[in-house]
Structures are given as structure tokens and as C-alpha cells.
């Protein structure tokens, strides 16, 4: 009887399949988190919803660090409505003004942000670059 050294094709395929499954489970840890575009689009939708529910103009301010806060125009003295931090943000700072009817525009001081983030002013939807 001859002894064969090595692996059969079935054994090699099973090992490759298991390695592929392990890589698919571990890869998301090493890949970048959610795109800043998706985070900004979600935040703009949330701001639009807040403006519509409150029936007032809401200002969404995003700092260079990614820190953001919403402030109501009619209730500015009350302080920010809410705030947070965008993890993947690396754009210029700016303030987006969202009306209660769902339209929006960057304020005059936010020209760099308006160039970096394309937003449809009528629907307040973030456009793909």
C-alpha cells in the first residue's frame, strides 16, 4: 500500500471556505466605519424632521471636529435642542438652516461647507458627489 503525502482537493476547498468565512466576519473591524456622507445624510434628515415637528426654523451647525448641534430659531435662548459627534467627518464647518416646510440652505458664512456637501435646497436631500 502506497502512502500519499498531502491534502485532497476536498480538504483544501473546505479550508479555503472556512478561511473566507472567517475573513468576512473579521474584515468589517478593520474597514473604515460608516461613510461621513451617510452620517451627514441621516443627520440632515433628522434635522428636517425636527424642524417640521416643531414648526420652526432649525439651525444645524457642524464643527470641524465633527461635533454638531441643532438649535431652534424661535427658541435660541433655550440652548441647543440636541447634539452629538460625527465619527467619520473631515469636512469644513458650516451651519445648515432648515425651514419647517422642509427646505434648507447653508448660511452665508458656510460657503466652504456648501461646496463640500451637495444638498438639494427644495427637498433637503444630500446628493451623491
Q: Is 48 exposed, middle or buried (0-12, 13-18, 19+ CB in 10 A)?
A: buried
CB 98, CB 122: distance < 8 Å:
no
pTM metric for this prediction: 0.67
pLDDT at position 31 is 62
Question: How many CA atoms within 13 Å lie on the side-chain side of 26?
Answer: 6
10-residue stretch averages of pLDDT, the chain, 129 residues long: 80 93 81 66 91 91 89 77 82 90 89 85 81
CB 97, CB 104: distance < 8 Å:
yes
Question: How many CA atoms within 13 Å lie on the side-chain side of 111?
Answer: 2
Pairing of strands 58-62, 67-72: antiparallel
CB 106, CB 114: distance < 8 Å:
yes
Amino acid at each position: 500500500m502506497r502512502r500519499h503525502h498531502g491534502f485532497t482537493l476536498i480538504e483544501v476547498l473546505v479550508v479555503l471556505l472556512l478561511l473566507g468565512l472567517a475573513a468576512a466576519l473579521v474584515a468589517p473591524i478593520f474597514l473604515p466605519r460608516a461613510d461621513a456622507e451617510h452620517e451627514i445624510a441621516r443627520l440632515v434628515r433628522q434635522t428636517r424632521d425636527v424642524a417640521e415637528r416643531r414648526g420652526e426654523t432649525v439651525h444645524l451647525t457642524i464643527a470641524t471636529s465633527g461635533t454638531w448641534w441643532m438649535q431652534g430659531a424661535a427658541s435660541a435662548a433655550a440652548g441647543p435642542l440636541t447634539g452629538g459627534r460625527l465619527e467619520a467627518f473631515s469636512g469644513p464647518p458650516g451651519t445648515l438652516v432648515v425651514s419647517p416646510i422642509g427646505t434648507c440652505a447653508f448660511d452665508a458664512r458656510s460657503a466652504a461647507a456648501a461646496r463640500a456637501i451637495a444638498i438639494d435646497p427644495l427637498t433637503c436631500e444630500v446628493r451623491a458627489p
